[in-house]
Amino acid sequence: MRFLLALTLCLSTCHALADGPSDNVPAKVRPVPKPGIAVPEAERKALEDALEKLKEQIVAIEGDSEAKRRYLPDVTIFHKAVRDALTNQEFFDPKEFAKAHSLLKEGARRAAALLAHGELAWTRQTGLVVLGYTSKIDGSVQPYGLVVPESFQAGGPYRHRLDVWFHGRGETLSEVNFLDERQRSRGEFTPEDTLVLHPYGRYCNAFKFAGEVDVLEALEDVKSRYKIDADRISVRGFSMGGAAAWHFGVHYPGMWFAANPGAGFSETPRFLDVFQKEKLEPTWYEKSLWQMYDCTDWAKNLINCPTVAYSGELDSQKQAADVMDEALGGRLVHIIGPKTKHQYEPKAKTEVARRMDSLAVKGRDRAPETVEFATPTLRYHESSWVRIDALVEHWKASSIHATSNGSEISVRPRNVSSFTLQFDPGTRSVELDDQVSIHVHYSGEGYEEFLCLPRSDRSLNVSFHKDGDKWKQGQAPVSGLRKKHGLQGPIDDAFMDAFVFVKPTGESKNERISGWVKTESERAVKRWRTQFRGDARLKDDMT
């Protein structure tokens, strides 16, 4: 519960909303989002009729060619948004009914274009556009927004810079409201010749877990549609979106040319002390799991991800950058808006944009001379040319410090039992006969030296593993099950991929747990039956 609380405390347009320690009492937890308003019967009937017509178009497209099905998510996002709002009571203001009708009309226009083999205008337009993809987590269609620069030409040779912008928290940010906003607002930053991706992130979970996967999947979908410069992708955001930028910056440091977090939160105990006035007394396992997204524990990874932080001088969420600066030993570039609370100050905003644009000119460094990478879990396992393949003990501080200097590479692993060095073609200045000397250090004194030759395309890909007390070249022999990236265990993986919840078949020794399981299981079944009623494909699954 503390994790979930920390994830949802940041607001997009005002100070963080803290309910206080009482929010740890289940009976007093404030529901987020709040229950929506009642939908008048006439309005409900009109929306249901429009939904049914759009559903008929969707079914017709499903039976058509693969090319049409490729763009079906761009239609289905409108149907799903309005259907879910009706089903889950997610209309929060009467003005949203008009938004819903407008979305359904746009969905119908796109569906008609697909069925008529007409021009798919939204795939070529510049400016604001909303698109969708099908998620691997649950097979649902998820929306995202794009700002497409005027310089974009469909089929043109130019590869664009792309900024990922994480939205702030909004307790009424239903998919209806998200899609409506993404068709009206360009957002905080729109650099020249740059696509800006606005992921939805499964509502407001600070883009963690399923929201994190949502970002990665949306990014891949954009890459499949537009020519993107892989070395000029950044992560940016403000408030809750700033927290996401911290998270993506430290967990995937080798993917971005820069990170630009604004406000937000970056760790658990000190944040809750400030915003909840709550002194935590964590168990050992809570402290271990905090490592997964307490960015201070991963701060050294920003050595390989240029970072420009922003805070308002009077913003209490300035705390996030302050603790990250402390973790980085005072090296964080922190632009501060004078006499400003929870928003961008104009001059400071200009300076942030200038620095990010300057970093974009060079782009991502694929082969930096030094790689610093820390992780307690193989869920996050690589940065630049270093990949960690196995840990001695999971959920303990683990890291690699590696340097590449001409024909010599030095690696200092900590709590690591297997790793790989991988240089892409063209990223190192070596000749075919240049022998590379690799020194793999022990925790104490001494190291093992290995001599390797680059491949014919001048790439280098070599692995090392611990065999007893000695380092050896090559992948570790595998016998039986072992933890690896993507298969570390339920704590690491459960909410990052598809999973099945199995209802208990017996009674817990704890009456409170048994009562909770029974109540929540009945509620879940009721929600599923309501959401998927009339869908024949799910009949057997529901049974």
pLDDT, tens digit, 9 for 90 and up, residues 244-270: 999 999 999 999 999 999 999 999 999
398 neighbors 427 (Cβ within 8 angstroms): no
pLDDT reading at 12 higher than 90: no
HEC readout, 76-110 = HHHHHHHHHHHHCCCCCCCHHHHHHHHHHHHHHHH
Give the residue from 289, 189, 192 showing the smallest Cα distance to 241: 189
Q: Which two tokens stand for residue 104?
A: 């359904």
CA 382 vs. chain centroid, Å, equals 16
Beta strand segments in 332-441, E: 333-337, 370-374, 382-383, 386-391, 399-405, 408-414, 416-423, 436-441
Per-residue model confidence (pLDDT) at position 530: 64
Beginning with the edge strand found earlier in the chain, give each strand of the sheet holding 416-423 in spatial order.
382-383, 386-391, 416-423, 460-467, 470-473
8 A C-beta contact, residue 190 and residue 147: yes
* Half-sphere CA count of 178, side-chain side, radius 13 A: 31
> How far apart, in whole angstroms, are the C-alpha atoms of residue 200 and residue 202?
6
Q: Are 262 and 309 in contact (CB under 8 A)?
A: yes
Task: Give the pLDDT of residue 13.
Answer: 33
Given a cut of 50, whether residue 464 has pLDDT beyond it is yes
Is the pLDDT assigned to residue 97 strictly greater than 60? yes
- For 487, which DSSP code? B
DSSP state of 29: P
What value does the mean pLDDT take over residues 526-535?
A: 60
Q: What pLDDT, on the 0 to 100 scale, is given for residue 535? A: 53
* 523: exposed, middle or buried (Cβ count in 10 Å: 0-12, 13-18, 19+): exposed
Distance CA 239, CA 275 (A): 14
pLDDT of residue 30: 84
Rounded Cα distance, 517 and 353, in Å: 50
Q: Please state, in angstroms and as integers, the Cα–Cα distance from residue 3 to each residue in 6, 209, 249, 499, following that order.
A: 5, 11, 19, 20
pLDDT at 534 over 60: no
CA 391 to chain centre: 24
Distance in angstroms between the alpha carbons of the first and the last residue of the chain = 32
Helix (H) or strand (E) holding 129: strand 127-134
The answer to whether 210 and 202 have CB atoms below 8 angstroms apart is: yes
pTM for the full predicted model: 0.90
Flag whether pLDDT at 16 surpasses 50. no
Tokens of 298: 């991963």
What is the residue whose two structure tokens read 């892409």? 424
Distance CA 35, CA 89 (A): 6
Contact 423, 460 (CB under 8 A): yes
- pLDDT of res. 7: 38
Note the helical H segments in 208-307: 210-225, 240-251, 269-275, 284-290
Q: What tens digit of pLDDT does each residue of 313-332 get?
A: 999 999 999 999 999 999 99
What is the per-residue pLDDT for 64?
A: 87
Q: Which two tokens stand for residue 179?
A: 């899609």
For residue 518, what pLDDT is reported?
A: 77
- Max CA-CA distance within the chain? 79
Burial of 483 (0-12, 13-18, 19+ CB in 10 A): middle
Distance CA 307, CA 285 (A): 31
Q: Which amino acid is at 26?
A: P
Q: Which two tokens stand for residue 292?
A: 């997964």
Question: Tokens representing 65?
Answer: 């060619």
pLDDT score recorded for residue 15: 38
DSSP string, 186-224: --S---TTEEEEEE--TTTSTT-THHHHHHHHHHHHHHH
pLDDT in tens, 329-367: 999 999 999 999 999 999 999 999 999 999 999 999 999
Average pLDDT over residues 41-54: 98
The residue with tokens 């915003």 is: 275
Q: Which two tokens stand for residue 376?
A: 């307690």
Residue 404 has pLDDT above 70, yes or no: yes
Please give the structure tokens belonging to residue 250: 């430290």
Name the residue type at position 288.
S
Which secondary structure element, helix H or strand E, spans residue 164, and what is its range?
Answer: strand 160-166
Inter-axis angle of helices 73-87 and 95-115, nearest 10: 150
